[in-house]
Amino acid sequence: MKDNRICGIVRDLLPLYIDGVCSEPSNKLIEKHLTECGECLKIKELLSDKTIEKTVKDEKEGVLSRHAAKERSAAWKAGAVIAGILLIPIIIVAIVTASGHASAGTLLVLIASMGLVAAITVLPLMTKKNRFAKAVLFSTAALLLIELFVCLFFSGDSFPEVAVPTVFGISVAFLPFIMRKADLPEPFSDKKTLIVLAWDTIWLYLTVIVSLWGKSTYLIADGVGVTTVCVILPWAIYAATRIKAAALCKCVRAGIIVLVSGLWVLLAEYQAFVDGVFRWTNNSALNEKLYVLIPALAVIAGAVLIVTGVVRRRNRKN
């Protein structure tokens, strides 16, 4: 026989029961009743499903997502307004061009320039993910377009001569920041430095070759030679930092980098080094002596660091 009075009492107590603040006898009474009464059990499940915390959490998430949505739509509106304003000069020049008072080249350069401004102002407003990378990418594309139109219509320069150094300069300045945030797929995820270094190296060579193109072959060979010497240092330092052997502590690693840098100076200024050594005693000029001193000091400092690292490690083991 069902007793409605117990149902009433149990339902009154259920919120306290769910919060775990009921006394032991009440708990027992409630649990016993819940096994017998399906209606109260249903109410209990409903209540525990929507406890206060959950309600608060739901409410909070709702508010946050509404806020984010509002911000997003505000950004879209701002972006649309800026994009619209950017169109005004393009329309004006288009009209002037159509009336025969300006060349089509001017219009194209202007469109590309507005694209550049848009890449910096509108794009970051309208995108949610990878804003920085996208802004740099689109700015670069717009810049290359401007250069293309200027080269085509106004100047005698060839496009590659202008475009390649542009890509190189932008890469050197921005690629490390883009890569730091980038989520690369598995085989590349731990090779960000390598990718940046390889990319910059390729564009440096291209810059040298493109800017010397059409001049004497000797000049190109010289340029490539000098570039190679310059490129060896960052690659050697990169290689030194990548030696993963457990035997290498920070001290030894620093020693190797100093050593590599010193040997690089020797290699880069090989002739000056030889001259400096042979003319050391004859009052040779200070800068000639520097080409000897820098590699020598680097070798000594590098060796000291490496030995210190090795000794320290051995002591720690004993």
Would you say 40 or 196 has its CB closer to Zn ion? Answer: 40
Residue 7 in contact with Zn ion, rule: CB under 5 A: yes
Angle at the Cα of 310 from the Cα atoms of 306 and 316, rounded to 5 degrees: 145
| Tokens linked to 286 | 């200070």
Would you say 7 or 195 has its CB closer to Zn ion? Answer: 7
Give min distance, CB of 39 to Zn ion, in A: 5
Would you say 41 or 148 has its CB closer to Zn ion? Answer: 41
Choices 29-37, 117-125, 140-148, 273-281; region in contact with Zn ion by CB under 5 A: 29-37
Binding residues among 68-127 for Zn ion as defined by CB under 5 A? none
Choices 3-11, 227-235, 255-263, 275-283; region in contact with Zn ion by CB under 5 A: 3-11
Would you say 9 or 86 has its CB closer to Zn ion? Answer: 9
Contact string 190-229 vs Zn ion (x = CB under 5 A) = ----------------------------------------
3-state secondary structure 48-86: HHCCHHHHHHHHHHHHHHHHHHHHHHHHHHHHHHHHHHH
Give min distance, CB of 80 to Zn ion, in A: 59
Would you say 39 or 71 has its CB closer to Zn ion? Answer: 39
Choices 32-40, 69-77, 135-143, 289-297; region in contact with Zn ion by CB under 5 A: 32-40
**Cα 236 from Cα 233, distance rounded (Å):** 5
Give min distance, CB of 17 to Zn ion, in A: 13
**What count of Cα atoms within 13 Å lies in the side-chain half-sphere of residue 244?**
0
DSSP structural state of residue 187 = G
Would you say 4 or 283 has its CB closer to Zn ion? Answer: 4
Q: Please count the other Cβ atoms lying within 10 Å of the Cβ belonging to residue 64.
A: 10
Q: Which residues of 74-110 are buried (b: 16+ CB within 10 A; e: fewer)?
A: ebeeebeebbeebeeeeeebbeebeeeebeeebbbbb
Give min distance, CB of 184 to Zn ion, in A: 60
**Cα 38 from Cα 289, distance rounded (Å):** 97
Of residues 30, 40, 305, 306, which one binds Zn ion by CB under 5 A? 40
Choices 33-41, 148-156, 206-214, 299-307; region in contact with Zn ion by CB under 5 A: 33-41
Choices 40-48, 67-75, 228-236, 251-259; region in contact with Zn ion by CB under 5 A: 40-48
Count of chain residues binding Zn ion (CB under 5 A): 3
Residue in 166, 177, 172, 88 with CA at minimum distance from that of residue 135: 177
Helices and strands of the chain, counted as H and E runs: 12, 0
| Tokens linked to 227 | 């570039």
| Tokens linked to 226 | 């000098």
Choices 1-9, 73-81, 164-172, 226-234; region in contact with Zn ion by CB under 5 A: 1-9
List contacts with Zn ion (CB under 5 A): 7, 37, 40
